[in-house]
Amino acid sequence: MVLMENHSTLMKAHNNQIWDFASENPVFNNLFNYSMACTTKIVMKAVVTAYKDGFGCIRTLVGVGGGTRGTIAKLVKVYPHIKGINFDVPYVLALALAYEETQFGWHYTNISHVKGDMFKSIPNADAIFMKNDENCIKILKNCRKAIPKKTGKIIIVDALLFNLVMIAHNINEKERTEVEWKKLLEEGGFLRYRILKTSTLPMIIEAYLE
């Protein structure tokens, strides 16, 4: 298949971007989010091991684009003192609640599902957990408003497994070097960061405002 410049495979096939397509097609939405949930299980095992000292001081944590809440569920299970907020668009959260009932028959009491648009605002919390996204600067600026200036932080997981799927479906998705991440973080208002490698594919970027 030959793609036009600035066109993803999904745009070529359906003349639509992935998030709009998912909102209009329940079958694709289910398939996409369940596949991301499977990937999350692998990624989060590595994240929890590599970043085991990073979650201890967090009381509230927002999972931006949390999907079926696999990320937040893993974290609050390992760190039960954390109050998790699974933040995503309404049609995804509807799937998340159904997923909990199907898989477990109950809902986590220390996870709340909050509907919203990460490009407009993000719920307040001690820290924010997010994946690499093609519109990082917009999201980072909203993250900056949602966390405490002196102690708040964002935790970004940049995972190749996730990005290969997204690169195929999103025209702006890309792998980023550390230099590119540094530039993005600075433009988003985060002046200090560190990168942690894990035992598998993802790396963890921890960034602070000061």
Can you say whether residue 170 is alpha, beta or left, with left for phi > 0 and alpha for psi between -120 and 50 degrees?
A: beta
Token digits of residue 13: 């096939």
Q: Does residue 18 contact residue 28 with C-beta atoms inside 8 Å?
A: no
What's the first-to-final CA gap in the chain, in angstroms? 46
Can you give the pTM of this predicted structure? 0.73
Token digits of residue 25: 């097609």
pLDDT at residue 33 in the model: 63
pLDDT at residue 101 in the model: 54
What ranges do the domains of the chain cover? 26-208
Tens digit of each residue's pLDDT, the chain (210 residues): 333 344 455 556 555 665 666 666 777 666 666 666 666 777 788 888 889 889 999 999 999 987 767 788 888 889 999 999 999 888 778 777 666 555 544 456 788 889 999 889 999 999 999 876 657 788 899 999 999 999 999 998 875 444 444 444 444 445 667 888 888 899 999 999 998 988 777 789 999 998
Beta strands in 47-150 (DSSP E): 60-64, 83-88, 111-115, 127-131
Out of 3.40.50.1000, 3.40.50.150, 3.40.50.2300, 3.90.79.10, which CATH number does the structure's domain 26-208 have?
A: 3.40.50.150
Q: Does residue 156 contact residue 128 with C-beta atoms inside 8 Å?
A: no
pLDDT at residue 145 in the model: 95
Q: Does residue 58 contact residue 80 with C-beta atoms inside 8 Å?
A: no
